[in-house]
Amino acid sequence: MSTTLLRRPAALLVLAAVLAAAALLLGPALAPQPAPGGGEARAQASSVGTTDEYVEDVGRLTDALFAFGTSFQSVRSASDLPSAIDDARGRLDAFRDAAATLGAYRLERPRLERQRAGLVRSATPFADAATDLLDALGERDLRAVRAARARAKAALADITRASRGRPPAPAPAD
């Protein structure tokens, strides 16, 4: 039998703090703010992207990740949770879109290409874990929230490593 979040209001606040802290920590690590206009149309037009496109697209990815993390800052009670979950889902969609744009081209500079490929590769596991986290929150299943939160935290660490051009952490042995 699962423990519900309604019985654990402190769990909501802890989760909100974890998500907000992760977004605040990752924001500066990934890239500067993007210029207006987005890089999606340009990325589809060419298989080789420019550094300017890359900076803009990474900015969109960063902004979406930060926005996702801030979705839960206004949660003060269980009744606030449904609207925060809906908001977070929309922001997670923006994150997925930004990752897809980054995945639509490659870069000629090896260091930037390694970074870009790592961000694209690490975005999906984070988005999947975050989706599971939102589902668990909606179901108020604390056990599933904990499991999804752990996966999301590990995926965020991989995004941070990718932003520095480093490979993801090795998968734990089963």
What domains, with CATH codes, occur in the chain?
Answer: 23-163 (1.20.1420)
Neighbours of 140 (CB within 10 A): 19
CB 38 within 8 A of CB 56: yes
Q: What are phi and psi of 106, to 5 degrees?
A: -125, 170
Secondary structure (DSSP) of 73-112: TT--SGGGHHHHHHHHHHHHHHHHHHHHHHHT-B-SSHHH
Phi-psi region of 130 (alpha: psi -120 to 50; beta: other; left: phi over 0): alpha
Q: Residue 4: helix, strand or coil by DSSP?
A: strand
Q: How deeply is 115 buried, as exposed, middle or buried, from its count of CB atoms within 10 A (0-12, 13-18, 19+)?
A: buried
CA distance 27 to 39: 19
Per-residue pLDDT tens, the chain, 174 aa: give them: 333 333 333 333 334 444 443 333 333 333 333 434 444 444 343 589 899 999 999 999 999 999 998 998 888 888 888 999 999 999 999 999 999 999 999 999 999 999 999 999 999 999 999 999 999 999 989 999 999 999 999 999 999 999 888 877 776 665
